[in-house]
Structure 1
């Protein structure tokens, strides 16, 4: 059979693309080399954040995605445990607090809701916070979902609108007509298509190479600790240290850790966040996990008495300029990309999927895709040669 759109990758970005493209009336086939949500989507916390983004294209996309989550997808929110818990970004020094206040000024100008929190008010937001913190900023737009439920339900909704999902179907090349991409070659046969969307997460660079184009997506490893279940609302918001914003924007390959702590509907507490570029090495890093635990205890001293049940790791699809790659690839007509969202993929997936569906069907997207252009790295590469 042929398709209007073949989507490579059944993670959260591919699932969102499938849902909105099928909603727009396209014949969609999703191909996935493993199981659905088998990559980065199964290894995150499910964050829908605006608080950790500086003013610019990524924040614009985050705000747009918030709109899509809360409006277009509102009727399904319960299916994936959407929780508008809000985010509390805390500062441990006067210098850190001043930087946080400066960041929030620029965010407000972009449409972010931010409330300054004085030191005396901290316990009103989080009763168990360390008294040594100097202040915080509260972001009511921050939210959380259960990522694997998002993927499963978006793909189910897409199938109800005629989409096909083929798991354990690895793409091994593209069908071509000159420079144009006209479908995919898989281990289970060819699928001709009007367009192909590369939503392969950390493997997106390899998929792009099938068309002879380079998209510099690299894996960035991170760990999460999961505690024993605690009483409801032990931790009420997503809470993280102000330094986390800088770590997200960093290009350093070495290990970085900044405390991120939040509760879940089941009562467990999730503790992150670490970042390091070590390829696809799945070795458990004791230094990374120890640092996460120590920094989480510094924020919430009561965690010292709480047992950690397990840890898990994943790989964020990292781009050198920290912007995702979204849109058509002029170097290989017919090929589109939606990848490189790093640790923000869950939150940005809804907006990305809707924007791609608009663009593929010839509608003008609600957001300018130029900052996310797939060939934006080409000039820098040519300058090196």
Structure 2
């Protein structure tokens, strides 16, 4: 990271407002297209022998005493030496089926998509308040500007966070606030038409850390979830950490802060 003086900002982003006092540039930052990356990982998994069962709902867990030995589904039972809960926003509900508390909660967010434009946004641009917004525990609406151009010429504009369960209602107040803050950074977007908006649910943990590791409360069960908006970027690294924990390999890093049972320990203490 290096600091960018006010008179240098337009060398990076010529359409940013001239009222900024400075910026920070992260030259190693990069982006991935989540659907393409997910499809690639799925293809690799199949090449290594994975069997993917779509349209199958897990309804419970198989047990041998306290040990989890598989899953019960609406299409039959599946036995396994290990069961991994990687259910994203639904990981908390999946853990509850196993009788353990892993409080992964949905945190709704909206994105605005503009019409295709000539090159306008050349980097992914975050407002300075972005980190504070992501680390907020407030259930109400939080907004902080993130703007990114795409190869197709559209501009993606975010972001918002609010804990409203799985409510898929479009929130006009949230969209207006996202647009208002975006125009403060990029006034040139004011006449641009929006093509659409979409929403999603981030897997949020109350302490803002993911859940990675085996679960001593339910031997045979492991979790990897709760990364909120960073899951696609951290997916491969998280999988490596989980495999190390499950196989007893020397850990790349200490994953104690991510242990699944930490929430139960907090309640006891």
**TM-score band, normalised by the shorter chain?**
over 0.9
**What is the deviation of 1:350?**
1.7
Aligned residue number for residue 206 of structure 1: 93
**What is the deviation of 1:139?**
1.0
Q: Equivalent residue of 1:128, what SS? A: coil
**What is the deviation of 1:127?**
0.4
CA-to-aligned-CA distance 1:240-287 (integer Å, 9 cap, x gap): 110011001110111011111010121110000001111111110001
Aligned residue number for residue 118 of structure 1: 5
Aligned residue number for residue 166 of structure 1: 53
Q: Equivalent residue of 1:164, what SS? A: coil
Distance in 1 (alpha carbons) for counterparts of 2:109 and 2:267: 28
Instruction: Kindly report which structure 2 residues correspond to 1:141-220, keeping only aligned pairs within 5 A, or say none.
Output: 141-220=28-107
Aligned residue number for residue 277 of structure 1: 163
Distance in 2 (alpha carbons) for counterparts of 1:267 and 1:350: 29
CA-to-aligned-CA distance 1:199-250 (integer Å, 9 cap, x gap): 1111111111122110011111100000111124x21111011001100111
Higher helix share: 1
Distance in 2 (alpha carbons) for counterparts of 1:348 and 1:154: 13
**What is the deviation of 1:359?**
2.8
Distance in 2 (alpha carbons) for counterparts of 1:372 and 1:266: 38
Distance in 2 (alpha carbons) for counterparts of 1:361 and 1:231: 51
TM-score (norm 1): 0.69
Which of 170, 173, 185 is 1:299 aligned to? 185
Following TM superposition, where does structure 1 have runs of at least 4 consecutive aligned residues deviating by more than 4 angstroms?
none
Where relative contact order (Cα < 8 A, 6+ residues apart) is larger, the structure is 1
Uncovered stretches (5+) of structure 1, i.e. residues with no partner: 1-113
Q: Equivalent residue of 1:166, what SS? A: coil
Aligned residue number for residue 23 of structure 2: 136
CA RMSD of aligned residues (A): 1.0
Aligned residue number for residue 263 of structure 2: 377
